[in-house]
């Protein structure tokens, strides 16, 4: 079909454009992020992405696994967690930054199919409201301690203040993350530095800590159980990618800065997360040993920091600083949780129903579910909830990483160039969908002891192993024929430019009357024109969708 070219400038939003289209253009919700919108430097994108890991849940996780299994096992578990997260997150982060796609769009073409990735969207949405609830619980603890706010009311406050902050997407979130990060770093690092310098004996006590039962000797099963709890954070890479998709094009001039930003803000988030878990356990051990009834609050970050602040500054200021830290941390991470969760729910709903209800509808849905979890006091069941969820998250993320690294780049069975548009993909691809299903089911069965108590601690290792091996096995078995429904989208212009970046050629969608860049477009079946990816998704009759190629 003929290619209509226009000037490569930011897409306009004329008054005739439907409201759904206008909203998605705020930050290209559910779409490829075009070059015309990606005006941020590599540094701003990476700082914004890392601002999203300001959560205090890591401190609680580190404290919980240390109290349960002792320092030695906790440290080995954290180390194992960091290795798995980094290796699995690297190919995903690279793919997102290189081709400017979120993890759902990547998952579609990486072994799951157009509708197959709906399941992974639900998995990711679950991650966002679990951790929203966890962070909201921590903030409520801070409000109760500092201002006497009842927990039930604190849960509501920590939920409602997030809604207005996620209305406008990346533009507001990037500003919020950049401006709050310096204060957050100061408030977080100061207590740890103070203890190491002023109480050097606390370091020895930390390494000697044997857990609440005094049975924390080195044990492989305890290491794996600790790692399993930490690995519940594996889906965090999807939130990092929600920022990384706005990376500028990779060029010869910015190559070093580009790679540094992608590695640090992508899989590199785990180094900061692991450090926070270690510090959380360190502070917990100090509180247990030096504070009356410290064992009852040692796993609550607000109390950890409050007790150390009290040694540095007057009591009233210590309380104020602890509350400020908790509020800043909760806001920084939960705007990301609410934003990313709303994208996941909206994406799934739009594909299943072919109707776009608006992202804000699902912001409300995600916040409502998180509030219910908080009111149900999920904080008391943290290890069990995270240990169970870890198996599903691992199965998804490692499956996609395996397809990208092995099937795309090593074996060449999976198409290297990403695909996410309706009509171009089969509904379900057994390679990724099947691998995740098998890895999830068997690892969950292992987690609950259905494969024997001896194997129970090994559920995360089983999930990693199956999710790594099954995609290439299934890809070879199916000869890769379930990846693409079509190889030609009806547009002659190339998808990539000379440097391998997505093309910035602008084409016009005749359905929503809006301009988009080349990767978001396909030829229309019924007209000699182009149609964008969202209009294809919401086409209830299929009149615009290209047929399968035999």
What is the CATH classification number for the domain harbouring 430? Answer: 1.10.4160.10
User: Does 443 fall in a domain?
Assistant: yes
Is 522 a member of any domain?
no
Token pair, residue 474, equals 């299934």
**DSSP 3-state of 387:** helix
pLDDT tens track, the chain, 550 positions: 333 333 333 333 333 335 555 555 556 767 888 998 888 889 888 887 887 677 778 888 999 999 999 999 999 999 999 999 999 999 999 999 999 999 999 999 999 999 999 999 888 888 888 878 887 888 888 888 878 888 889 888 888 888 777 766 556 656 666 677 787 778 888 888 888 888 889 889 999 999 888 777 888 989 998 998 888 889 889 889 988 999 999 998 999 999 999 999 999 999 999 999 999 999 999 999 888 777 788 888 888 888 888 888 888 888 888 888 888 777 777 777 787 788 788 888 888 888 877 777 878 888 888 888 888 876 666 667 777 788 899 999 999 999 999 999 999 999 999 999 999 999 999 999 999 999 999 999 999 889 988 888 899 899 999 999 999 999 999 999 999 999 999 999 999 998 999 999 999 999 988 899 999 999 999 889 999 998 998 888 889 999 998 6
| Alpha helices per DSSP H over 301-449 | 301-312, 315-353, 359-375, 382-402, 430-447
In sign, the C-alpha dihedral spanning 7, 8, 9, 13 is positive
Per-residue CA distances from 468 to 28, 280, 394, 429, 461 (Å) = 31, 31, 10, 16, 11
Residue 408 lies in a domain: yes
Residue 462 has which token pair?
A: 């089983």
Residue 536, domain member (yes or no) = no
Taking the CA atoms of the chain, what radius of gyration do you get in angstroms? Answer: 24
Length of the chain: 550
Q: Tokens representing 430?
A: 């057994």
Decide if 541 is inside a domain: no
| Distance separating alpha carbons of residues 409 and 411, to the nearest angstrom | 6
462 phi/psi in degrees, rounded to 5: -65, -45
CA angle 225, 185, 144 (to 5 degrees): 75
Q: Which pTM value belongs to this model?
A: 0.84
Within-domain flag for 549: no
DSSP state of 233: G
Is residue 518 domain-resident?
A: no
Eight-class DSSP state of 425: B
Q: How many domains are there within the chain?
A: 1
The answer to whether position 515 is within a domain reads: no
Domain that holds residue 257: 19-478
Return the residue matching tokens 């092995």. Answer: 406
In terms of Cα–Cα distance, which of 517, 519, 502 is closest to 247? 502
């Amino acid at each position: 079909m003929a290619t209509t070219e226009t000037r490569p400038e930011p897409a306009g939003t004329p008054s005739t454009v439907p409201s759904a289209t206008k909203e998605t253009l705020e930050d290209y919700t559910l779409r490829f992020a075009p070059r015309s919108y990606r005006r941020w430097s590599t540094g701003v994108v990476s700082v914004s992405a890392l601002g999203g890991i300001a959560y205090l849940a890591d401190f609680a996780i580190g404290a919980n696994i240390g109290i349960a299994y002792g320092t030695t096992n906790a440290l080995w578990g954290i180390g194992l967690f960091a290795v798995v997260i980094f290796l699995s997150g690297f190919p995903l982060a690279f793919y997102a930054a290189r081709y400017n796609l979120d993890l759902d769009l990547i998952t579609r073409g990486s072994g799951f199919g157009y509708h197959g990735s709906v399941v992974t969207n639900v998995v990711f949405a679950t991650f966002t409201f679990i951790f929203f609830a966890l962070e909201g619980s921590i903030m409520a603890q801070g409000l109760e301690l500092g201002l006497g706010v009842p927990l039930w009311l604190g849960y509501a406050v920590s939920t409602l203040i997030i809604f207005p902050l996620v209305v406008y997407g990346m533009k507001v979130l990037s500003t919020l993350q950049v401006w709050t990060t310096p204060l957050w770093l100061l408030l977080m690092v100061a207590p740890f530095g103070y203890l190491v310098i002023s109480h050097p004996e606390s370091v020895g006590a930390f390494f000697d800590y044997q857990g609440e039962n005094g049975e924390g000797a080195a044990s492989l099963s305890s290491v794996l159980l600790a790692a399993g709890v930490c690995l519940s954070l594996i889906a965090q890479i999807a939130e990092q990618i929600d920022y990384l998709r706005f990376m500028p094009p990779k060029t010869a001039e910015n190559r070093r800065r580009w790679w540094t930003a992608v590695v640090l803000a992508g899989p590199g988030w785990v180094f900061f997360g692991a450090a926070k878990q270690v510090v959380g356990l360190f502070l917990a051990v100090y509180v247990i040993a030096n504070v009356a009834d410290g064992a009852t609050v040692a796993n609550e970050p607000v109390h950890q920091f409050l007790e150390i602040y009290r040694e540095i500054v007057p009591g009233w200021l210590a309380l104020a600083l602890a509350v400020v830290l908790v509020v800043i941390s909760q806001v920084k991470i939960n705007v990301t949780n609410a934003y990313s969760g709303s994208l996941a729910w909206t994406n799934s709903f739009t594909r299943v129903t072919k109707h776009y209800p608006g992202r804000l509808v699902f912001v409300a849905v995600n916040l409502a579910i998180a509030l219910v979890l908080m009111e149900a006091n999920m904080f008391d069941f943290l290890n069990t909830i995270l240990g169970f969820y870890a198996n599903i998250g691992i199965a998804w993320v490692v499956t996609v990483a395996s397809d990208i690294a092995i099937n795309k780049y090593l074996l060449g069975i999976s198409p290297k160039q990403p695909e996410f548009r309706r009509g171009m993909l089969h509904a379900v691809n057994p390679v990724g969908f099947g691998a995740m299903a098998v890895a999830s089911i068997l690892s969950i069965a292992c987690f609950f002891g259905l494969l024997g108590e001896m194997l129970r601690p090994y559920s995360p290792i089983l999930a990693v192993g199956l999710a790594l091996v099954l995609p290439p096995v299934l890809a070879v078995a199916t000869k890769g024929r379930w990846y693409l429904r079509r190889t030609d989208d009806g547009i002659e212009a190339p998808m990539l430019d000379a440097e391998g970046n997505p093309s910035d050629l602008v084409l016009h969608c005749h359905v929503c009357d809006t301009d988009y860049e080349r990767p978001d477009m396909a030829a229309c079946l019924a007209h000699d024109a182009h149609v964008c990816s969202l209009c294809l998704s919401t086409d209830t009759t299929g009149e615009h969708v290209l047929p399968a190629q035999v």
